[in-house]
């Protein structure tokens, strides 16, 4: 007679249903670490091409450490949460300082920039089979439903409770497989909305299923409110076709990325309000120019906590500007997606 075992069940399920992902067939901490940073708050399908590009560009952690931050940010362009890229680069240099040797345990891994409790547990278990449980969004969902726990997953008490429970259900003899399995189970079977419980191997012992609470769990409180912003980008075009880019400050949104100079406002602006603005004068001085609006209707760019209403103004000037860059130089700079989309449309670039 055998007793029902949570870890055995999800690991058996995993061996049948697991996806074939390039960072799963290795114990090398470098690709494991790289994949985990890329996948933070990012879906597998979105992160996958970035993983391939990074491995191609930087086959070893030393290659990554030796790159410039701008090179790393450019490769990261479009993925979001750009502090991950800066931390990734810093951590690569930390590792290079150790002759390329990663810390070999959970505690040591936590010293790497950008590596928190989840990522340290993931690397420690996947690379070294250290019995430390990962707790990500998938794990919160699976455990909260299976055990019927309604503590909010974004409050200190709930976080501690789930971390403790996750370690209790972890089979220490199968740490790597167990951690992979519970996350894959959450990603493919115990999905956020309308999971197909009929085919779930845990259906007979799932608390949420028994009590009809599947769609109420996990509990997460507080919602981020969205702030509306209006950006009027000044797209300089010099006689030779060059333009002006400025780098954003090293803190805040899109830190360190490049964009056209812009005027912030509370809504639409008239041409004379643009050309009379201090920012405009700072960029173009007393040069002669011809201005035109590129998009009459604002382009909406939605982030998790902001909605940006973007207007692009084409400012053709009749003299060269000292700090202008060519289009090819511009394309080497890391930019956010709003910029990337405009650049591709305006200069009619392929891809």
Partner DNA sequence: AAGCCGGGGTT
Partner DNA sequence: AACCCAGGCTT
Q: How many CA atoms lie within 13 A of 15 on its CB side?
A: 9
Task: Based on the residue annotation, tell me whether 36 is a catalytic residue of this protein.
Answer: yes
From the CB of 73, what's the least distance to DNA, in Å?
Answer: 10
Could you tell me where the DSSP H helices lie in 191-307?
207-211, 271-275, 278-284
Nearest to 134 by CA among 187, 71, 59, 212: 187
Nearest to 208 by CA among 128, 153, 144, 274: 144
- CB nearer to DNA: give 65 or 85: 85
Instruction: Report yes or no: 159 and 139 within 8 Å, Cβ to Cβ.
Output: no
- Does 218 sit behind a cis peptide bond, omega within 30 degrees of 0 on the bond before it? yes
Q: Which is nearer to DNA, 11 or 242 (CB)?
A: 11
Which residues contact DNA (rule: CB under 7 A)? 21, 23-24, 35-36, 39-46, 78-83, 87, 113-120, 122, 136-138, 140-141, 155-157, 180, 183-184, 186-187, 192-194, 220, 222-224, 226, 251-255, 301-305, 336-338
Scored b (16 or more CB within 10 A) or e, 74-102 reads bbbbebbebebbbbbbbbbebbbeeeeeb
Which member of 36, 130, 184, 259 is catalytic? 36
Shortest Cβ 237–DNA spacing (Å): 24
Q: Taking the complex as a whole, how short is the minimal distance between the CB of residue 291 and DNA, in angstroms?
A: 26
CB 137 within 8 A of CB 186: yes
Tell me the closest approach of the beta carbon of residue 85 to DNA, in angstroms.
9
Q: If we measure between CA atoms, which residue out of 316, 305, 320, 240 comes closest to residue 80? A: 305
C-beta closer to DNA: residue 3 or 156: 156
Q: Work out how close the CB of 40 gets to DNA at its nearest, in angstroms, rounded to a whole number.
A: 4
What distance lies between CA 58 and its chain's CA centroid?
A: 19
Active site residues: 36
């Amino acid at each position: 007679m055998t007793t029902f075992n949570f870890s055995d069940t999800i690991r058996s399920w995993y061996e049948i249903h697991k996806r074939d992902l390039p960072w799963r067939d290795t114990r090398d901490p470098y690709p494991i670490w790289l994949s985990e940073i890329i996948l933070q708050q990012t879906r597998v399908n979105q992160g996958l091409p970035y993983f391939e590009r990074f491995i191609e560009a930087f086959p070893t952690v030393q290659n990554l450490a030796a790159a410039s931050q701008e090179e790393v940010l450019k490769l990261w362009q479009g993925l979001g949460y750009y502090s991950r890229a800066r931390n990734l680069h810093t951590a690569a240099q930390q590792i290079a300082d150790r002759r390329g040797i990663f810390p070999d345990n959970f505690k040591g891994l936590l010293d790497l920039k950008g590596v928190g409790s989840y990522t340290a547990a993931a690397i420690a278990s996947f690379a070294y089979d250290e019995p430390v449980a990962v707790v990500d969004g998938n794990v919160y969902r699976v455990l909260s439903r299976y055990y019927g726990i309604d503590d909010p997953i974004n409050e200190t008490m709930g976080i501690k409770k789930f971390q403790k429970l996750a370690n209790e259900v972890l089979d220490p003899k199968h740490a790597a497989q167990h951690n992979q399995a519970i996350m894959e189970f959450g990603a493919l079977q115990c999905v956020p909305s309308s999971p197909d419980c009929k085919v779930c191997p845990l259906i007979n012992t799932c608390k949420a299923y028994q009590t009809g609470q599947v769609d109420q769990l996990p509990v997460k409180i507080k919602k981020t409110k969205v702030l509306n912003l209006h950006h009027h980008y000044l797209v300089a075009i010099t006689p030779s076709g060059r333009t002006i880019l400025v780098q954003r400050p090293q803190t805040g949104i899109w830190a360190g990325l490049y964009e056209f100079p812009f005027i912030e406002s509370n809504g639409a602006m008239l041409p004379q309000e643009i050309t009379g603005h201090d920012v405009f004068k700072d960029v173009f001085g007393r040069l002669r120019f011809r201005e035109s609006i590129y998009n009459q209707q604002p382009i909406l760019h939605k982030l998790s906590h902001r909605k940006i209403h973007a207007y692009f103004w084409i400012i053709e000037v009749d003299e060269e500007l000292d700090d202008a860059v060519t289009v090819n130089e511009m394309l080497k700079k890391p930019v956010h997606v709003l910029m990337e989309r405009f650049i591709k449309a305006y200069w009619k670039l392929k891809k």
